[in-house]
Structure 1
Amino acid sequence: MKIAFYHRSVCGGIKTHVDALSYEFKRLGHEVKDIDQYSLGSYMLGNPSGGISYGFDFGFSLKKIKREVEDCDILHIHHAATSSEFFLPFSSICSELNIVNTFHIAAGDSLSGELAKALIGALASLYAGRSKKFISVSEEIAADIRRYTQGWGYGDNGNGTETVVIPNGVDINRFYPRAQEQENDKGVCIGYLGRLSPEKNVINMIKAVKALESDKIRLKIAGDGPLYDKIKKKEGEKIEVLGYVEDAPAFYRSLDVFLLPSKLEAQPIALLEAMASGLPIITTDVGDNKYFVHGNGILCGTTAKEIGAAIKEMLNEDMAKMGIESRKIVERDYTWDKIAKRTLDVYKSVV
Structure 2
Amino acid sequence: MRQHICYIISSLCNEGPVNVLFNIIKYMDWEHFKVSIITLIPEKKTSRINDFRQFPLDIYQLATDKPLGPWGMYKALRKRVRNINPDILHAHCSRSLYLMSFLPRKYKRTYTIHNYPDHLPEILYGKYKGKIIVFLNHYFTHKCDLPIGCAENIGLMYKEKKGWEITSIPNGSSLPIWQYNETEKKSLRKEFGLKDGIKYFIFIGRFSPEKNPDKLIKAFSLLKDLKIAVIMLGDGPMWEDLNKSKGKNVLMPGFTTRVYDYLKASDYYISTSDMEGLANTLLESMSVGLPMVLSDILSHQVVINSVPNNIKLGVTINQKDTDSIATGIKAILNFDTAATADNIRQLFFQKYRAEIMSDKYQNIYTQFL
Same fold (TM over 0.5): yes
1:345 paired with 2:368, answer no
Kindly tell me: are residues 243 and 318 of structure 1, through their superposed partners in 2, closer, same or farther at Cα, counting changes over 3 Å?
A: same
Partner of 1:69: 81
SS of residue in 2 equivalent to 1:41: coil
SS of residue in 2 equivalent to 1:218: strand
In 1, the alpha carbon distance for the partners of 2:348 and 2:279 equals 13
- Which consecutive unaligned segments of at least 5 residues does structure 2 have? 42-60, 187-195
In the TM superposition, residue 329 of structure 1 has moved relative to its aligned partner by 0.9
Partner of 1:197: 208
Any conservation in 1 of the 2:271–2:294 contact (CA below 8 Å)?
yes
In 2, the alpha carbon distance for the partners of 1:309 and 1:118 equals 38
TM-score (norm 2): 0.79
1:80 paired with 2:94, answer yes
Matches within 5 A, 1:103-114: 103-105=113-115, 112=123
Q: Write the deviation string for residues 130-173 of structure 1: whole angstroms up to 9, x where unpaired.
A: 432110113333244346765xxx7xxxxxxx520112110132
Partner of 1:237: 248
Any conservation in 1 of the 2:268–2:293 contact (CA below 8 Å)?
yes
Partner of 1:122: 136
Structure 2 residue identity aligned to 1:16 = N
In 2, the alpha carbon distance for the partners of 1:234 and 1:289 equals 29
Matches within 5 A, 1:212-227: 212=223, 214-227=225-238
In the TM superposition, residue 120 of structure 1 has moved relative to its aligned partner by 4.8
1:310 paired with 2:328, answer yes
Kindly tell me: are residues 117 and 252 of structure 1, through their superposed partners in 2, closer, same or farther at Cα, counting changes over 3 Å?
A: farther
Kindly tell me: are residues 226 and 26 of structure 1, through their superposed partners in 2, closer, same or farther at Cα, counting changes over 3 Å?
A: farther
In 2, the alpha carbon distance for the partners of 1:249 and 1:275 equals 11
CA RMSD across the alignment: 2.7
Matches within 5 A, 1:1-351: 1-9=3-11, 10-25=13-28, 27=30, 29-38=32-41, 39-41=61-63, 57-70=69-82, 71-82=85-96, 85-91=97-103, 93=104, 95-105=105-115, 112=123, 119-128=133-142, 130-146=143-159, 150=163, 162-173=165-176, 176-182=178-184, 185-212=196-223, 214-293=225-304, 294=307, 295-302=312-319, 303-351=321-369
Kindly tell me: are residues 309 and 147 of structure 1, through their superposed partners in 2, closer, same or farther at Cα, counting changes over 3 Å?
A: closer
- Which consecutive unaligned segments of at least 5 residues does structure 1 have? 45-54, 155-161
In 2, the alpha carbon distance for the partners of 1:284 and 1:301 equals 6
In the TM superposition, residue 87 of structure 1 has moved relative to its aligned partner by 4.5
In the TM superposition, residue 326 of structure 1 has moved relative to its aligned partner by 1.2
SS of residue in 1 equivalent to 2:229: strand
Any conservation in 1 of the 2:10–2:39 contact (CA below 8 Å)?
yes
SS of residue in 2 equivalent to 1:5: strand
In 1, the alpha carbon distance for the partners of 2:184 and 2:64 equals 46
In 2, the alpha carbon distance for the partners of 1:5 and 1:337 equals 18
In 2, the alpha carbon distance for the partners of 1:234 and 1:126 equals 43
Structure 2 residue identity aligned to 1:97 = Y
In 2, the alpha carbon distance for the partners of 1:207 and 1:332 equals 36
Kindly tell me: are residues 68 and 87 of structure 1, through their superposed partners in 2, closer, same or farther at Cα, counting changes over 3 Å?
A: closer
In the TM superposition, residue 240 of structure 1 has moved relative to its aligned partner by 1.2
In 2, the alpha carbon distance for the partners of 1:36 and 1:78 equals 10
